[in-house]
């Protein structure tokens, strides 16, 4: 069936500016790190992406290595984009990244100009896009001068292959250095993509003030701690879950301490008439420097559950205080 996007798609979500830029992002964005490789049915992927756009999710986040195998999420997205989304290109913000291993040899990863720009061309070819809206350095490279890495991002903008640039997993000092290096090329640093959720609070230690001072937006990844901050594991480990199937999450994450905290959070969510996932998303969105929460979803039902977060009012200070004893950094970390 040809795809015709929902006419009411822009009546449902909130949109905000990304830092001190003109780019607006939805408060909840969709990432395709997991659930969009060759290991999953294309029809499920298509249903999730169509539903997201129908609900006003204008931003889809990808990276060169997403799959499995690496590259397959970009290829699958390219197929779905060509069939469904091509007429809507100007309504979409599509990002990709480079930083992790993609091929053999000395130019396969990290932050050299050689790797970043060849990876960008390969990502454009896989997705079939003419440009990415945002191109990221996926991780800081301790062995490459920041001027080289940021110079490559600036070249991507000047070549018309990216409209904006971002960084991911950079600490506050590295963020300042990246911002300054890009300024030399008159390219603003649009956005930072760090991990942030109730069980990983490391960025509270200094990143937010830097983002506010420099006018950089942020899109926080794994806001549901890969599913740990949902009802997914309250009664065991479902066979189709990430903990059962992914190298990034496993049974060792489901500790008694984790279950105790997550059950308490579940109660607080129920008191607000929300799911635990919705509480977890409202919690990251309470931070003024957070532009968007970057979720994953393995089904349309999960996506809908997450987007309904925005139907409820923001958390009150009493609710934030009640959450605090259970939002413990390191919960669910593998021993
Ligand atoms: N820059 C980086 O270094 C980096 C790293 C990681 C991720 N990211 C980005 O962030 C995106 C999101 O990461 P993530 O997938 O870890 O995010 P997440 O939202 O924390 O976790 C998503 C997983 O949680 C479960 N889930 C989601 N909604 C649910 C709901 N309502 N009820 C029950 N379970 C639910 C699903 O697990 P099941 O699959 O078990 O159903 C889903 O796959 C990625 O796609 C990627 O774009 C970036």
Does the Cβ of 32 fall within 6 Å of ligand 1?
Answer: yes
Contact 139, 101 (CB under 8 A): no
Cα–Cα distance, 256 to 235 (Å, whole number): 12
Ligand 1 pocket residue status of 218, Cβ below 6 Å: no
Q: Is residue 84 part of a domain?
A: yes
Return d(Cα 244, Cα 329) in angstroms, integer: 23
229 is a domain residue: yes
Residue 332 falls within a domain, yes or no? no
Q: Convert the pLDDT of each residue in 144-156 to its tens digit.
A: 999 999 999 999 9
Whether ligand 1 lies within 6 angstroms of the CB of 230 is answered as yes
- The percentage of residues in the chain with a pLDDT greater than 90, rounded to a whole number, is 98
Predicted confidence (pLDDT) at residue 197 exceeds the cutoff of 90:
yes
CATH of the domain at 239: 3.20.20.100
- Asked whether residue 301 is domain-assigned, the answer is yes
**pLDDT at position 335:** 53
Ligand 1: does its nearest atom lie under 6 Å from the Cβ of 274? no
Asked if residue 331 is part of any domain, the answer here is no
pTM above 0.95, yes or no: yes
pLDDT at 98 over 70: yes
Tally of structural domains, the chain:
1
Instruction: Specify if 1 maps to a domain.
Output: no
Query: In the predicted model, is pLDDT for residue 242 greater than 60?
Result: yes
* Burial of 324 per CB tally in 10 Å (0-12, 13-18, 19+): exposed
278 neighbors 323 (Cβ within 8 angstroms)? no
The answer to whether residue 1 scores a pLDDT higher than 60 is yes
Distance from C-alpha of 311 to C-alpha of 172, rounded to nearest angstrom = 33
Within-domain flag for 4: no
Closest ligand 1 atom, residue 275 Cα? 31
Supply φ then ψ for residue 213, to 5 degrees: -65, -40
Q: What is the pLDDT of residues 99-144, one digit of tens each?
A: 999 999 999 999 999 999 999 999 999 999 999 999 999 999 999 9
Helices first, then strands: H and E counts in the chain: 11, 10
The share of the chain scoring above pLDDT 70, in percent, equals 99
User: Residue 317 pLDDT more than 80?
Assistant: yes
68 with 39: CB under 8 angstroms? yes
Residue 276, number of CB atoms within 10 A of its CB: 24
pLDDT tens for each residue of 260-289: 999 999 999 999 999 999 999 999 999 999
Domain of residue 143: give its range.
9-326
Q: Does 35 fall in a domain?
A: yes
């Amino acid at each position: 069936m040809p795809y015709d996007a929902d006419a009411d798609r822009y009546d449902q979500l909130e949109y905000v500016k990304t830092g001190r830029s003109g780019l607006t992002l939805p408060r909840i964005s969709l990432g395709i790190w997991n659930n969009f490789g060759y290991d999953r049915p294309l029809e499920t992927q298509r249903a999730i992406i169509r539903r997201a756009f129908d609900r006003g999710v204008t931003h889809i986040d990808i990276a060169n290595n997403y799959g499995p195998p690496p590259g397959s999420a970009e290829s699958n997205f390219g197929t779905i984009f060509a069939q469904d989304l091509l007429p809507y290109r100007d309504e979409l913000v599509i990002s990709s990244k480079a930083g992790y291993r993609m091929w053999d040899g000395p130019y396969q990863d990290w932050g050299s100009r050689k790797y970043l720009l060849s990876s960008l061309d390969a990502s454009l070819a896989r997705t079939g896009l003419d440009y990415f809206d945002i191109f990221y350095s996926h991780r800081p490279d301790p062995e490459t001068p920041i001027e080289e890495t940021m110079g490559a991002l600036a070249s991507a903008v000047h070549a018309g292959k990216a409209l904006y640039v971002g960084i991911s997993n950079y600490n506050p000092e590295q963020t300042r250095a990246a911002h300054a290096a890009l300024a030399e090329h008159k390219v603003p640093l649009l956005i930072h993509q760090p991990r942030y959720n109730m069980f990983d609070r490391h960025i509270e230690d200094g990143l937010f003030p830097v983002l506010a001072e420099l006018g950089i937006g942020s899109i926080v990844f794994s806001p549901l701690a890969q599913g740990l901050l949902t009802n997914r594991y309250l009664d065991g480990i479902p066979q189709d879950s990430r903990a059962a199937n992914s190298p990034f999450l496993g049974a060792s994450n489901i500790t008694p301490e984790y279950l105790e905290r997550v059950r308490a959070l579940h109660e607080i969510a129920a008191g607000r008439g929300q799911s635990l996932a919705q509480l977890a998303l409202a919690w990251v969105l309470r931070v003024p420097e957070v532009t968007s929460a970057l979720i994953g979803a393995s089904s349309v039902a999960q996506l809908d559950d997450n987007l309904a977060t925005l139907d409820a009012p923001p958390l009150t200070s009493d609710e934030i205080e009640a959450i605090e004893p259970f939002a413990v950094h390191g919960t669910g970390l593998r021993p």
